Amino acid sequence: MSGGAAPFPSRAERRELAAREGRVARILTFSAVDGPGNRAAVFLQGCSFDCVYCHNPETRPAVTAKARPDEQPAWPRAMTALGVVAAVWPYRAFLSGVTVSGGECGEQPDFLSALVGLFGGLGLPALVDTNGSLDYAARPDIVGRAAGFMLDLKAWDPVEHRRLTGADNAHVIANLRFLAAAGKLVELRTVVSPGLFDADSTVRHGARELAASGSAARYALIRFRPQGTRKAARDLPRPDDATMERLAAIAREEGAKDVRII
Amino acid sequence: MNPAQRVVTDATLTIQQKINGLAHVAEDQLDVLRVGPDVQELRDAGVICDLFEGAAPYRPRYVVPDYELFMRQGSEFLGLKAPADIWEATAALLILYRHVPSITSFPVYLGDLDALLEPFVGDEAEARKAIGLFLTQIDRTLNDSFCHADLGPAATKAGRIILELTREQQNAVPNLTLKYDPELTPPDFAELAAATALDTAKPSFANHRIFQSEFRAMGSDDYAIASCYNGLPKGGGSCTLVRLNLAKLAPRAADRDQLLSSVLPEAVDRQLEYIDERVRFLVSESGFFQSSFLVREGLIHPERFSAMFGLVGLAECVNAHSGGARFGHDDEADELGLRIIRDIDARVRSHVSPYLAFNGGRFLMHAQVGIDSDTGVSPGCRIPIGQEPELPEHIVRSAPFHRYFPSGIGDVFAFDPTTRRNPGHLRDIAAGALKSGLRYFSAYAADADVVRITGYLVKRSELARLNRGEATMQDTTALGRNAINNLGVLERRVRS
């Protein structure tokens, strides 16, 4: 594994990791939709992508809510890594693991690293749900201690990607190759809304990358749904079954081993 | 109308259901139980209820045969040799089922089917065909969803086949339990069970470690889950189940002190007295244990029979005497609930039956799930439907009650249909619930055709048939319809 398996933190390192602070948008103790099994989902606040169809626009700004004295702070809030672990810990008997998501968790790499290291060391394997904007090849502390990655491939073509998200996708594609080759990719995802970008080409290239590195990662093809999006995105077209089936066929044809329509 | 005439002319009953109904009417003509006026008053008030067992107990309510022994030795009475292949094995079981009595006239326990059939699974396709026909015949001829089969804790080929066929066939019968042990049950097998439960409301997950250690401590090598979710000693069963309706008992006490100091203990004593009397007739007068070939051939043993002390409506009783604190939400109310259960448990434990040897003559506590005519009475110690807290809190608040009920207590959870995409989610929650001390965990997806009513299963499609005034295969469908109307079982909080 080219990422290298970092050992779980020693006691001294744990103390340092536990004190790290980050912005947390929300913690969900039971989630059925953030990876395999029942997982706690920790959503970090702040995202550099500005996706047209963003489903959690409230998690984009890198801010925390102000708490008035003697009141519980509102979400999003500043928390230590220890605080996050403590919020999840009572539910550990019910969990397959934890998923750190966002916002974009890669925006706070040191905090992400602390969460992945602490949870993994406590026997709650951590999945990282990311848009791929952080250069993970440069972060063996995260990659080595995470149980796996779920990566969004918004669009293959850089021009389309920029139009869709306001950001370049060179890091996304580099991460796709790096994580798949390292055996760390568990899921690749593309949200489909007809006409927004060339989904055929994106799915074709994404599946091709999975096949090229022999990755067993699931390719999840997700129908655009208007729930949670900004007003401007409510009327984006929703794909019909035939479109989704066609994309799934493309992914399988290119060698993706596990393709799901969601 | 005369009750027999009502049965005879009921267009929604099959002939078989009418015959059972007429047997009931005939039994109730008898006046053989010596019931004192105090007991009778509580029975008339609906505080003590024998769940329509009938006026002259002539067979145990729940019979749990040692099917393993039957598979090894066959049956002299039935003229059967020990089975040698999957076809003989399934046929032998189906034959025996016809002769296993219970309160419903159908067997309430069909065996640990995976373990019974595994030795006969050679060619998998052939086994699948044989087991498929076996399950279909059970559903179509044992028309009562209190018929219950057990699986696990280990994964077997037979177990997988049964789960896969259960998912495919979408039958209400048999009810199914997976005996779950985190050390012995592999995660993929538990996940297959969870996926099956989302589609067909079964199997439920039983806490194998708790059941096994308790029944061993009582002197039984093995236990079975029968009927709704009743833990019982294998090779024995329960003579009777009588329940105390705490919701109806509550208003008989002026306050909490009176409830705890006199009203409750007196009612518990009267119920113990009534159970003793029902057991006396069954054991000493009915002749059941003297005449049954199941006893003669060692498939059941009189000394492995107990009786069940049931209770229902704890939530309503607590809410009536908790000064505004709400059961399932406020610690104060839950504390009162636990106090009531501990008091009942202590009193039941101190009573020794003169007729039963199992567990030193001590009865087994059972959190009864209710009957179809109950209104405003929550099953056992459950938090009322419509007031369920968030899932983790629900589990944590329910768990402390479960240890008191070796012969059954459980919770039912409805899940969002999208959980089907991730059955591991349900597996993890079930495993976590058992680890947190829950004894028994049932789940289904909110849109499934097969629905768990309180402990038993009903198909929505069969309910529709009954609502059109037509006869339905299972006698439990009618119970389900009433429970849906009276208890709101389709209104359970949906978890996602």
pLDDT of residue A2: 41
Q: Tell me the C-alpha distance between B75 and A136, whole Å.
A: 68
Give the residue on A whose Cα is nearest the Cα of B429. A94
Q: Does A183 touch chain B (CB under 8 A)?
A: no
- H-helix or E-strand containing B233? strand B230-233
Interface confidence (ipTM) of the complex: 0.88
Which residue, among A212, A215, A192, has the nearest Cα to A202 in the 3D structure? A192
Tokens matching residue B91: 């046929």
The interaxial angle of helices B187-200 and B157-169, nearest 10 deg, is 20
Strands A218-223 and A258-261: parallel
B431, A91: Cβ pair inside 8 Å? no
> Between A and B, how many CB-CB pairs are < 8 A?
51
pLDDT tens by residue, B450-485: 888 888 888 888 888 888 888 888 888 888 888 888
Q: Does A123 touch chain B (CB under 8 A)?
A: no
Q: Does A89 touch chain B (CB under 8 A)?
A: no
In chain B, which residues have pLDDT < 70? Answer: none
pLDDT of residue B280: 98
Strands B230-233 and A185-192: unpaired
Mutation to test the B interface, candidates A34, A88, A96, most B Cβ within 10 Å: A96
Q: Tell me the C-alpha distance between B455 and A23, whole Å.
A: 46
pLDDT of residue A5: 66
What does DSSP assign to residue B52? Answer: T
Q: Does A96 touch chain B (CB under 8 A)?
A: yes
Give me Rg for the CA atoms of chain A: 18
Residue B55: phi and psi, rounded to 5, are -85, -10
Q: Tell me the C-alpha distance between B96 and B149, whole Å.
A: 14
Domains of chain B by residue range = 1-30
Q: Tell me the C-alpha distance between A5 and B108, whole Å.
A: 53
Residue A1 has pLDDT above 70, yes or no: no
Contact B117, B158 (CB under 8 A): yes
How close is the nearest chain B Cα to the Cα of A239, in Å? 19
Identify all chain A residues contacting B496, using CB atoms and an 8 Å cutoff.
32
Give DSSP secondary structure letters for chain A.
-TT--PPPPPHHHHHHHHH-EEEEEEEEEEESSSSSSSEEEEEES--S---TT-S-GGG-SS--PPPPTTSPPPSSEEEEHHHHHHHHGGGGGG-SEEEEEES-GGGSHHHHHHHHHHHHHTT-PEEEEE-S-S-GGG-HHHHTT-SEEEEE---SSHHHHHHHHSS--HHHHHHHHHHHHTT-EEEEEEEE-TTTS-HHHHHHHHHHHHHHTT---EEEEEE---TT--GGGTTSPPPPHHHHHHHHHHHHHTT-SEEEE-
Contact A179, A151 (CB under 8 A): yes
Residue A69 has pLDDT above 80, yes or no: no
Contact B77, B293 (CB under 8 A): yes
B424, A33: Cβ pair inside 8 Å? no
Identify all chain B residues contacting A94, using CB atoms and an 8 Å cutoff.
392, 428-429, 431-433, 436
Give the residue on B whose Cα is nearest the Cα of A260. B421
Identify all chain A residues contacting B418, using CB atoms and an 8 Å cutoff.
32-33
Residue A231 lies in a domain: yes
Give the residue on A whose Cα is nearest the Cα of B191. A37
Please name every residue paired with A102 in a beta bridge, in sequence order, or none if there are none.
A44
Identify all chain B residues contacting A91, using CB atoms and an 8 Å cutoff.
392, 432
Q: Tell me the C-alpha distance between B138 and B136, whole Å.
A: 5
Q: Does A37 touch chain B (CB under 8 A)?
A: yes
pLDDT of residue A3: 44
- H-helix or E-strand containing B315? helix B314-321
Q: Tell me the C-alpha distance between A199 and A207, whole Å.
A: 12
Mutation to test the B interface, candidates A27, A28, A30, A127, most B Cβ within 10 Å: A30
Residue A6 lies in a domain: no
Picking from B419, B422, B428, the nearest residue to A94 by CB comes out as B428
Give the residue on B whose Cα is nearest the Cα of A29. B392
How close is the nearest chain A Cα to the Cα of B269, in Å? 40
B392, A91: Cβ pair inside 8 Å? yes
Give me Rg for the CA atoms of chain B: 22
Q: Tell me the C-alpha distance between B149 and B135, whole Å.
A: 11
Look at chain A and report how many structural domains it folds into: 1
Q: Does A56 touch chain B (CB under 8 A)?
A: no
Q: Does A262 touch chain B (CB under 8 A)?
A: yes
* Residue-number span of the structural domain to which A122 is assigned: 11-65+73-261
Mutation to test the A interface, candidates B393, B420, B422, most A Cβ within 10 Å: B422
Q: Does A261 touch chain B (CB under 8 A)?
A: no
Q: Tell me the C-alpha distance between B231 and B247, whole Å.
A: 24
Residue A74 has pLDDT above 90, yes or no: no
Residue A123 lies in a domain: yes
Q: Tell me the C-alpha distance between A56 and B233, whole Å.
A: 54
B428, A38: Cβ pair inside 8 Å? yes
Residue A240 has pLDDT above 60, yes or no: yes
Residue B60: phi and psi, rounded to 5, are -60, 150
Q: Tell me the C-alpha distance between B72 and B77, whole Å.
A: 15
Residues contacting residue B138 through CB under 8 Å, at least 6 positions apart = B94, B97, B110, B147, B171, B173, B174
Q: Tell me the C-alpha distance between B207 and B222, whole Å.
A: 14
Contact A248, B407 (CB under 8 A): no
Q: Tell me the C-alpha distance between B365 and B308, whole Å.
A: 6
Identify all chain A residues contacting B436, using CB atoms and an 8 Å cutoff.
93-94
Strands B62-64 and B236-245: antiparallel
Q: B108 to each of A31, B39, B149, B265, how far by Cα in Å?
A: 37, 28, 8, 31
Peptide bond into B60 cis (omega under 30): no
Identify all chain A residues contacting B399, using CB atoms and an 8 Å cutoff.
none
Report the 3 state secondary structure along A81-101: HHHHHHHHHHHHHHCCEEEEE
Name residue A80's amino acid: T
Contact B158, B391 (CB under 8 A): no
Picking from B421, B429, B435, the nearest residue to A38 by CB comes out as B429
Tokens matching residue B440: 């028994």
Give the residue on B whose Cα is nearest the Cα of A261. B421
A32, B391: Cβ pair inside 8 Å? no
Confidence grade of residue A4 (pLDDT, cut at 50, 70, 90): low
Name residue B359's amino acid: N
Identify all chain A residues contacting B435, using CB atoms and an 8 Å cutoff.
93
Identify all chain A residues contacting B392, using CB atoms and an 8 Å cutoff.
29-30, 90-91, 94
Peptide bond into B384 cis (omega under 30): no
The interaxial angle of helices B187-200 and B423-435, nearest 10 deg, is 110
pLDDT of residue B102: 95
Identify all chain A residues contacting B495, using CB atoms and an 8 Å cutoff.
30
Residue with tokens 């920029």: A162
**Furthest CA-CA distance within chain A:** 59
Residue A205 lies in a domain: yes
Domain of A42, CATH number, reads 3.20.20.70
Query: HSE of A151 in the Cβ direction (CA atoms, 13 Å)?
Result: 30
